Structure 1
Amino acid sequence: MRKKWVAAAAAVQVVSLLAMTGCASNDNNGPSEPAGQGAAAESKDNINKTGFPIANEPVRLKGLVSKYELVKDWNEHKGMKHYEELSNVKIEWDSVPQNSFEERRNLLFASNDLPDFVMRANLSSQLLTSYAATGQIIALDELIEAGYAPNLSALMQEDEGIRKAITAADGHIYSLPNISEADGRISSSWINQKWLEELGLEMPSTMDEFYEVLKAFKEKDPNGNQQADEVPFTGYKETKSSGNELIRTFYGSWGYGGNSGIIAPYMDVDGEGKIRYIATDDKFKEIIVFFNKLWTEGLIDKEIFSQDMNKVVSKVDEDRVGFVARGNNNLWLGNNRANYVQNPVLRATEGDIYWVGVNPKVREVGSFVITNKNPNPEATLRWADHFLSEEGTALARLGIKDVTYTIDADGFYKLKDEFANDPNGLTVDEALSEYTIFQGGQITQRVTQKVDQSAAVLPEMIANKDIIRPYLVPDEKLMNPSFTEEENIKLGTIATDIEAFTDEQVVKFVTGSRPIGEWDKFVSTLNNMKLDEYLAIYQAAYDRWNQ
C-alpha cells in the first residue's frame, strides 16, 4: 500500500563523494552542532519562543526549496511575503524548479555548499541518515526541548506516535514532518451502487458474496445496453508493484495488517510482534487462488496491469465499470462518479478483519531540515514550526486570512468564492498559486478536517469513510520504519530484488502464466534470496520503534 523505498545507492554515492572531497565538516559520528556558536551567532535573546514576531530584530536566512510548477517564485510569493512581515524572518530563497531540484540538492550536499535550511527537501530516510552521519544536517532535539518548536512539542506530547515516527534510528530528530489527521489519508474502493440496484443485489459483505456480485455484473447486463461490455473489476497501473496494487485493498479481509498496517509491499507484523513476509504465508496463497479465479472467469479487467487512470475514467464514463479500488474520493471517476459508493470491509476469514488502506499520521519525515551552516537555528526552527499550527497550515494550504479564506462560526476554514470558483476558469491550485505552498506536497504541515479543503472531506466522502472507519488500523499501531546507515546499505542490495521478484510472480500466479502448483518452489526461491536478512532489518527497525 505504501513505501517505495529509495535505493541506498544514491545516499552511498553522496556520502562517498563527501569522503573523497573532504567536504564533511564533522570529525565524529554524533549529531552535528549548528554553525556560529560563538560571536557570529545571533543572540538567542532576539528570538521569541511563542507569538509574533519570531525575531525582535530582523533575522536573515538562506533557504533552498523545491518549487512546484504552479507555485510562484518563493522570493516573490505573496503568502511568503505575508509570513515574512509576520515573523520578521527574512529569507533569500534558492527557488529551484521541482524537476531539477533533486540534482541541485544532491550537488549542494556533495560540495558542502549548503544553505541554512532546506524546505520541501524530499529526503528519504536513507538520505536523512547519511546527511546526519556526515554532520551536514543538525539534530533538532535540544532546540525542541528548549522551546523553539512549541507546536511540534504539543503534538508529540499529545501523541507519542508522532515522536516515534520522526525519531531516527540513532535516537535523534533531524527533520520536521508532514502530518495529516484528515480523511485524505484513508484510501477507498468504489462499487457501482446503481448496478447493484438495477440487478436487485445486496451490498456484499464477504469475499464470496463479492465474487457473486462481480459475476452478476459480467453476466446480467447491468448497464442495459444489450452488450457484454461490462468490466466487473478494474484498476490502473500506479507503481511498478502491480501485484501488490491489485491485492493491497484486500489484505485486511484476510486478517493481515492489524498490528502495523502494511509497512512495505507484502509485509506486516503478526500477532506476536514479528515481522512477517505475507507472500510466503499459507493464507496468502488463498488470496492468490481467489484472484486467479476472478481472472480466469473474466471478472478482472485484462488491462488492469497496463492502463492508466484516464483509461479507467473513460470506461466509467461509458458505464462499464463495476468496482475499482483507487483514491480517497470518487470525484476522479468522471461523469458517472455519483453511481459509486464505498463498500464495507469484505470478510474472507474468521477473526478480526481490518481496513489497511490508511497512512500513518506522519506522512513524510524528510520535508524540512536545518544544515550545520545555519547561524540562527533557533529562529529557523520557530519559523518552520509555525506550519504545524492550525494557522500555519492554513497559510500553507489556503493562503492569507480574509484575502483568500475565511473561518466560519464552527471554526472551519473556507476558501473565498473567487478562489474556490475562479471566474477565469482557473483550478483552485492555479488560483492560489501566489498565496499557497502546499501544491506538490512535501510541506511541513498538520492537516485537520477543519483546514483540509480537498474532496476527501466533502460530507458525502466522510459518509463513505464512516462505512470502513470502525475497521481502520489504529493510529498508534501504524509504523514508519527508520533504518541505520548500515541497514540502509544492506536493504539497497536485497530489498529491490525481493520485492520485484515477488511482484512479478504474484502477477504470474494471478494471470495463470505460472501454475499454483509451483507455489512451494516460489516460496523456496524467496527464502534463498536473503529473505531472512531482509526481515531481520525490518524487525530491528520495528523493535526500535516499538520500544
Structure 2
Amino acid sequence: MKKKTVALLLAAAMCAGSLAGCGGSDTTGAEAVAPDGGSVQSAEVDESGKVNGVLYKEGLPLVDEGTYSFSIFCDDSSESGEFYMLDEFKKQTNVDVEMRIFPYETATERLNLDLNSGDYADVIGGWTLNDSMILTYGVNQGVFVPLEDYFAEYCPKITEILDLPGVREEMTAPDGHIYTIPYVCDDTTVGYAPYINSRWLENVGMDMPETTEEFEAVLKAFKEQDANGNGDPNDEIPFSTDPNNKHIEAMAGWFGLPMNKYGEGIVNSEVVYAGASSTYRELLSWLNSMYEQGLIDLEIFTQDSATWEGKGNRDLYGVSIAYGSSEFSGIQATTEKGEFDVLPVLNTDKGGSWMRDTNGFSVYRTQAVITDNAKNPEVICRWFDNAFELENGIGCNRGPVGTVVYKEEDGYHAIDTKTLSEEEQEKLSWGNLWPQSLPKYMPSGFKYIEANPLYDEKKALEEAYEPYLTKETVPSFWIPLDKIDRYSDIATAINDYFNQQQAMFVSGELDIDDDTQWQNYIDGLYALGLEDWMEVRGVEKVAE
C-alpha cells in the first residue's frame, strides 16, 4: 500500500478481495516442516480436540484464554497502536497479539536491525517486505516458515483464496513453498496520478489543461497570481508530489512512453527499459525547466510526508501527484466532488498515455510472514484465517458489523459514521480498524449499500484514464534462486541510482541537456548491472 508507501497503503484501503490471474511458478509445495523439526502432518490432536495441546482444530475460540500470544511487526501510521478489530479478534480467539508498529519511513531500517540481531517478531508484515527478503530469509535461511501445509490442514478460508485463479501460482516461491499469508484484493487500475485544484484554476481564469504546454502555462499562473486567494501572491507552490511515491517518471507517458518507478516502460505491448531513453530525457529536461522557473516545489526531493501534507493542508499546492487528493489537501471526502480534480492524461492527441497499474485486482505476496521465532505457527495461521471470514473482513475494511455495518435481507448496509459520536468516529475510522498494511480479505466485487455514499474520486480517475492506459501491466516475476544475492545488490543499487540521478537532473545539479553528463548517467546504469537486472525481470530491450 503511508506511513507506508501510500500507494500502496491506500491501495489496501479499497482492497476488497479478488479473483486474480497473475503468472508465477507452477511447482507444487513440499511437506512443510514445523520449527520444532516435526512435520505439520505429524501434529497430535488430543481428546479435547487440541493440536499439540494448544490449538482447537475447529471452531472458536482458537485457544484457552491466557495460553497463547504472538507478536506482529508492521509499518503503520497509527499514533496509538490500538485497533478495534484486534480487540474483537481477541474476544473471538482468546489469542493475545503484541503489535510492534513503526512508521514506514523507519520500519525498513528497524526490521533490518531486528533480523540481524535475531530479536524479530513472530510475524513480520507490511510494506517493508519484498520478494528478495522472502527468498533470502525464507528459501535460503529458513527464518521465514513455509506455510502451505498449515493452510491445507487448518485454514479453509485461506485455502479458498489460494484456489482462486492464479493466486496459488503467484504465491508459490521458486522452491515450491508458500511463505506468506495471501493478500488478495480488488484494486484500482491507476494508483498514483496528479490532482489539480479546480478552485485555483477558476481563480486564475484558466481552463483544465490538455497538453504539457497548457499545463506549464497553468503552473505559471498559479505561481504569479494569488491562486489560493489568501491575499499573498507569493506563497503558492504550483506542483509537488508524495515524497514516498513521487512517480515523476510516470509523466513520460505524456511524451509517449509510459513508465513505472523502476524505469520499465511499455512500447507496442512489450516491456522495455525506459530509464535510459530519449523520451525520459525529454521529460527530465522539461521538468528541469519548470524547476528553474520556480514552478516545482523546491523541497520535492528532500521533504518528508509530514512536510508535504502540512503544505497541502495550508492550501499551498495547485497540483500534486498522490494516491488521492485528501492525502495532501486535508480535505476529507464528502458526497459531492471536492475542489480537486483529476488532471487528465496530457498530449493524448499526440499519443500521450499512462501506465496501467493493475487489471482491477492484485495479489500481494509479501505482506505477512511467520518467522522461526513463532511457537505453534498453526495458531497464527488459523488466527488470520478467522480474520478473513466475511464479517471480520467487513470489520477490517469498513467497520464492525452491528455498529457501522448492518446485515439486512438485501445485503450489508453501511451507515453514515457522521451520525456517531466524535469519540466513536475516531475509534471506528478506517485507519483505526485494522493495521492496513497487513493482509485482509473481502470477496471480489463485494459492495456495501451505503447510506450516504461518498464521491468516488478513484472511480472518476479510472474513468478519465481508461482510454489512455496501456493495455498491459508489467508482469510479476520471481528471482531465480541462483541469482538472489546478486539481484538484490543490483536492484538496490540501480533503484537508488535512478532516483538520485533523477533528482539531480531535475534540480539542475546535473545538466540534463549536456550529452556527456547524460551518457555518464547511462554508463552508470550499465556499470551497476543493468543488463543482469533486465534479464532477471524478463526485460529484453532498452528503449532508444
Q: Normalising by the residue count of structure 2, what TM-score does the alignment of the two structures yield?
A: 0.71
Deviates more, 1:473-482 or 1:248-257: 473-482
Structure 2 residue 37 is the aligned partner of structure 1 residue 41: no
Seen in structure 2, the aligned counterparts of structure 1 residues 109 and 176 have a Cα distance that, compared at 3 Å, is same
Deviates more, 1:375-384 or 1:278-287: 375-384
Residue number among 209, 218, 221 corresponding to 2:214 in the alignment: 209
Matches within 5 A, 1:387-398: 387-398=387-398
Q: Which amino acid aligns with 1:468?
A: A
Q: CA deviation at 1:353?
A: 1.4
Q: CA deviation at 1:459?
A: 2.1
1:193 — aligned with what? 198
1:168 — aligned with what? 173
Q: Which amino acid aligns with 1:402?
A: G
Alpha-carbon contact 1:390-1:451 (below 8 Å) kept: no
SS in 1 for 2:437: coil
1:330 — aligned with what? 326
Structure 2 residue 398 is the aligned partner of structure 1 residue 402: no
Structure 2 residue 342 is the aligned partner of structure 1 residue 342: yes
- Distance in 1 separating the partners of 2:449 and 2:290: 38
1:66 — aligned with what? 73
SS in 2 for 1:63: strand
Name whichever structure is richer in helix by fraction: 1
Seen in structure 2, the aligned counterparts of structure 1 residues 350 and 480 have a Cα distance that, compared at 3 Å, is same
Seen in structure 2, the aligned counterparts of structure 1 residues 186 and 423 have a Cα distance that, compared at 3 Å, is same
Alpha-carbon contact 1:342-1:467 (below 8 Å) kept: no
SS in 1 for 2:279: helix
1:112-142 alpha-carbon deviations (Å, 9 max, x no partner): 8998x62637543233212322344443445
SS in 2 for 1:427: helix
1:396-420 alpha-carbon deviations (Å, 9 max, x no partner): 34564214542467645536748x7
Seen in structure 2, the aligned counterparts of structure 1 residues 290 and 515 have a Cα distance that, compared at 3 Å, is same
1:91 — aligned with what? 95
SS in 1 for 2:178: coil
Q: CA deviation at 1:346?
A: 1.6
- Distance in 2 separating the partners of 1:246 and 1:103: 23
- Distance in 1 separating the partners of 2:327 and 2:113: 40
Deviates more, 1:170-179 or 1:534-543: 534-543
1:161-210 alpha-carbon deviations (Å, 9 max, x no partner): x4454232334321123334255973342112123334443322222221
Alpha-carbon contact 2:391-2:401 (below 8 Å) kept: no
1:69-92 alpha-carbon deviations (Å, 9 max, x no partner): 534499x953123331xxxxx535
2:183 — aligned with what? 178
Q: Which amino acid aligns with 2:200?
A: W
1:297 — aligned with what? 293
Deviates more, 1:305-314 or 1:191-200: 305-314
Matches within 5 A, 1:507-526: 507-526=503-522
Alpha-carbon contact 2:405-2:415 (below 8 Å) kept: yes
1:229-270 alpha-carbon deviations (Å, 9 max, x no partner): 26362225624xxxx82614414323444xxx72x5323455
2:435 — aligned with what? 439
- Distance in 1 separating the partners of 2:247 and 2:316: 19
1:440-473 alpha-carbon deviations (Å, 9 max, x no partner): 522343487757999xx83242453244351585
SS in 1 for 2:330: helix
Alpha-carbon contact 1:31-1:138 (below 8 Å) kept: no
Seen in structure 2, the aligned counterparts of structure 1 residues 328 and 448 have a Cα distance that, compared at 3 Å, is farther
2:89 — aligned with what? 80
Alpha-carbon contact 1:367-1:442 (below 8 Å) kept: yes
Matches within 5 A, 1:182-331: 182-183=187-188, 186-219=191-224, 221-223=226-228, 228-229=233-234, 231=236, 233-235=238-240, 238-239=243-244, 245=246, 247-257=248-258, 262=260, 264-268=261-265, 270-271=267-268, 273-276=270-273, 278-309=274-305, 311-312=307-308, 315-316=311-312, 319-330=315-326
1:423 — aligned with what? 422
Cα RMSD after superposing both structures: 4.9
Deviates more, 1:370-379 or 1:338-347: 370-379
Structure 2 residue 521 is the aligned partner of structure 1 residue 491: no
Seen in structure 2, the aligned counterparts of structure 1 residues 305 and 495 have a Cα distance that, compared at 3 Å, is same
Alpha-carbon contact 1:180-1:362 (below 8 Å) kept: yes
Q: Which amino acid aligns with 2:343?
A: N
1:134 — aligned with what? 141
SS in 1 for 2:243: coil
List runs of 5+ in structure 2 lacking aligned partners: 6-28, 540-544
- Distance in 1 separating the partners of 2:500 and 2:108: 29
- Distance in 1 separating the partners of 2:287 and 2:470: 28
- Distance in 1 separating the partners of 2:155 and 2:510: 55
1:14-51 alpha-carbon deviations (Å, 9 max, x no partner): xxxxxxxxxxxxxxx98742344499613499699xxx
Q: Percent identity?
A: 21
2:455 — aligned with what? 459
Alpha-carbon contact 2:144-2:370 (below 8 Å) kept: yes
- Distance in 1 separating the partners of 2:177 and 2:41: 27
SS in 2 for 1:201: coil
SS in 2 for 1:459: coil
SS in 2 for 1:64: strand
SS in 1 for 2:184: strand
Alpha-carbon contact 2:206-2:218 (below 8 Å) kept: yes
Alpha-carbon contact 1:354-1:471 (below 8 Å) kept: no
Seen in structure 2, the aligned counterparts of structure 1 residues 403 and 541 have a Cα distance that, compared at 3 Å, is same
Q: Which amino acid aligns with 2:286?
A: F
- Distance in 2 separating the partners of 1:475 and 1:139: 35
- Distance in 1 separating the partners of 2:174 and 2:57: 31
Alpha-carbon contact 2:249-2:280 (below 8 Å) kept: no
1:17 — aligned with what? none
Seen in structure 2, the aligned counterparts of structure 1 residues 292 and 44 have a Cα distance that, compared at 3 Å, is farther
Alpha-carbon contact 1:114-1:373 (below 8 Å) kept: yes
Q: Which amino acid aligns with 2:243?
A: E
SS in 2 for 1:70: coil
List runs of 5+ in structure 1 lacking aligned partners: 5-28, 85-89
- Distance in 2 separating the partners of 1:102 and 1:254: 35
Seen in structure 2, the aligned counterparts of structure 1 residues 413 and 474 have a Cα distance that, compared at 3 Å, is farther
Seen in structure 2, the aligned counterparts of structure 1 residues 522 and 476 have a Cα distance that, compared at 3 Å, is closer
1:87 — aligned with what? none
Alpha-carbon contact 2:324-2:458 (below 8 Å) kept: no
Q: CA deviation at 1:280?
A: 0.7
Q: Which amino acid aligns with 1:210?
A: F
Q: Which amino acid aligns with 2:92?
A: Y
Q: Which amino acid aligns with 2:137?
A: Y
Alpha-carbon contact 1:360-1:480 (below 8 Å) kept: no
- Distance in 2 separating the partners of 1:426 and 1:83: 23
Q: Which amino acid aligns with 2:385?
A: D
Structure 2 residue 44 is the aligned partner of structure 1 residue 55: no
Q: CA deviation at 1:477?
A: 2.8
